[in-house]
Structure 1
């Protein structure tokens, strides 16, 4: 079996805990900005089929899947979730200031699902129909949101010069972004994944982004940090107790997640305030989308 002990591959293997701690210490902190009161039209409801519910012993994490960015990986996450594959699996590798990794049925970094590995989806093609709201346009690029996912993309103006009238885009590894683990083979992702605790832009375009935590980042950051080599959790690791896709639950048991719509005026006011406050230090990771969760609470598991 392929050694998943290489976990997230060459970049992460070269990032010891001390380096990750330094990254956390210097990472941008969201600038204080007071968003205006939002009307009901300012909110976008996450589709139930794109809402992954991860109930852990630390609390509930809600992830919005991003099929526009990584359709093959989203399909795999839905498949494994619907097979109850993730239930009971531990967070076997956790580095403070970096990420929390899970999805290994063996719990040691060497396991995977019985399904074939997935071809890497490190970038995607963004067209005029892709939901995208720009917030900044550094030279030769655009930063913004595709639904709740922070992304970087080539300028929209380039669409007129491409054969498919689309441009490249990729997810930005901000706090809460969900990525797929792999070894040094770029097409070796399978079932192991990680949730970002802090920004780590060195991963951009090298590891597939398939979703974003819309609620429960505090839970991700509360997951027990590793005490072994390269962030391995050697004793009493935290675990996912139950993982479900919201659309597979009865309506009475589904949480309803609404995220401030990037297309709304309220979002524009928020983004402009953060960008102005941060100035030259602005990062797309500085913008934290307001979220409201209603409906069924997390069950006692």
Structure 2
């Protein structure tokens, strides 16, 4: 019996299970939990990055800093858009980890899809991501699709909208209170 226990423990350490999702607890005008299934088969580097940052607690207390009605809600700036951070710089920061190469796929940007935000450089995604309110086919093949909302889209729909063409949220934006990795 003892040998089997050690063998099972070694197997668990040698081959960790891949995380398949995130539970995002949102607080503010929107309140509730959103579950995202990650596409670790088509965007493994990006899925791993979101999982790593969630496990580190980096996403806890991060605001939805850019929210455009009929388009998407963007969050994940773990450098500037955290509770107590410099919100004037929100959208310009990332994690201390390096940028990721694009993992484009044929998955379309439809309602509920989670994509990775980036600069003009396709290989510049880091920590920021967005959730689609509505389809936006012009993003297809231009941004990495990393997952999709499988429950809680009604919570996403309630996220406080921003103003102007850039969708900057004025006042108190909604936040990801906690982000938990699920299997």
Which residue, 181, 203, 212 being the options, matches 2:139?
A: 203
Partner residue of 2:85? Answer: none
Per-residue CA shift, 1:56-85, capped at 9, x if unaligned?
112110000111110110110111111011
Partner residue of 2:96? Answer: 114
CA RMSD of aligned residues (A): 1.4
SS in 1 for 2:48: helix
| TM-score, normalised by the number of residues in structure 1 | 0.50
Offset, 1:49: 2.4
Offset, 1:243: 0.1
SS in 2 for 1:227: coil
Q: Report the Cα distance in structure 2 between the residues aligned to 1:122 and 1:236, rounded to whole angstroms.
A: 34
Q: Report the Cα distance in structure 2 between the residues aligned to 1:219 and 1:201, rounded to whole angstroms.
A: 23
Which residue, 141, 144, 149 being the options, matches 1:213?
A: 149
Q: Which structure 2 residues correspond to residues 123-202 of structure 1 after superposition, within 5 A?
A: 123=105, 170-202=106-138
SS in 2 for 1:82: helix
Checking the alignment, whether the CA contact within 8 Å between 1:90 and 1:238 is kept in structure 2 is: yes
Instruction: Point out the structure with the larger helix share.
Output: 1
Checking the alignment, whether the CA contact within 8 Å between 1:48 and 1:246 is kept in structure 2 is: no
Partner residue of 2:12? Answer: none
Q: Report the Cα distance in structure 2 between the residues aligned to 1:49 and 1:189, rounded to whole angstroms.
A: 20
Offset, 1:227: 2.1
Q: Which structure 2 residues correspond to residues 20-59 of structure 1 after superposition, within 5 A?
A: 49-57=19-27, 58-59=31-32
Q: Report the Cα distance in structure 2 between the residues aligned to 1:113 and 1:195, rounded to whole angstroms.
A: 19
| TM-score, normalised by the number of residues in structure 2 | 0.82
SS in 1 for 2:37: strand
Partner residue of 1:85? Answer: 58
Partner residue of 2:163? Answer: 227
Which structure is larger by alpha-carbon Rg, 1 or 2? 1
Q: Report the Cα distance in structure 2 between the residues aligned to 1:112 and 1:85, rounded to whole angstroms.
A: 10
Q: Report the Cα distance in structure 2 between the residues aligned to 1:172 and 1:244, rounded to whole angstroms.
A: 26
Q: Which moved more, 1:177-186 or 1:238-247?
A: 238-247
Q: Report the Cα distance in structure 2 between the residues aligned to 1:212 and 1:97, rounded to whole angstroms.
A: 17
Partner residue of 2:3? Answer: none
Structure 1's 65 and 235: CA in aligned 2 closer, same or farther, altered over 3 A? same
